Amino acid sequence: MDSLLAQINEVLKLNIDSNDTLEIWRYDLIYKIIVPESGWDAVQEALFQILLDDSRKQDEYTVISQVFWEAVCDKLTVDKDRAVALLNYRLNTADRPYEDNLTWSITCNLYHLDYADSEYNAFRDEKIRSLLAGYGITYEL
């Protein structure tokens, strides 16, 4: 797991996302190179470790959410409760509108919610709150 995390960390350090001449982004490198090499299950576990790491930058959590979106779109098996809990916690989507909200898209897809007409809030879901509490995370509404 340490070498996998090291690979992902190297990608997260790259400054390529705003480069107009390259048409590749950090999430692409993780999803299209590291996932095939290491397997989705191992990468997913590494991504969860990153989401649990308080020392990370917000930008890194965003890249991780983009990797999860790719996995969801490709119908890979995602630990949906952990993904919803940690992505919503890190990207703090409780009070934001759903438009252009990747975490909301992931949540809706995994839980089969209506994207534009659902009142679901991960932070009011006891299952999610309990999962976060198991990590020592409390979230006040």
Instruction: Say whether both 139 and 96 belong to one domain.
Output: yes
pTM of the model: 0.90
DSSP reduced 3-state for 137: coil
Could you give the maximum distance between any two Cα atoms of the chain, in Å?
Answer: 46
Tell me which residue range forms the domain holding 124: 79-141
- pLDDT by position in tens, the chain (length 141): 899 999 999 999 988 766 666 677 899 999 999 999 999 999 999 999 999 999 999 999 999 999 999 999 999 999 999 999 999 999 976 666 555 589 999 999 999 998 888 888 999 999 999 999 999 998 777
Q: Total domain count for the chain?
A: 2
Question: Which of 24, 45, 78 is where one domain is finished?
Answer: 78
Instruction: Say whether both 2 and 34 belong to one domain.
Output: yes
Question: Which of 61, 78, 95 is where one domain is finished?
Answer: 78
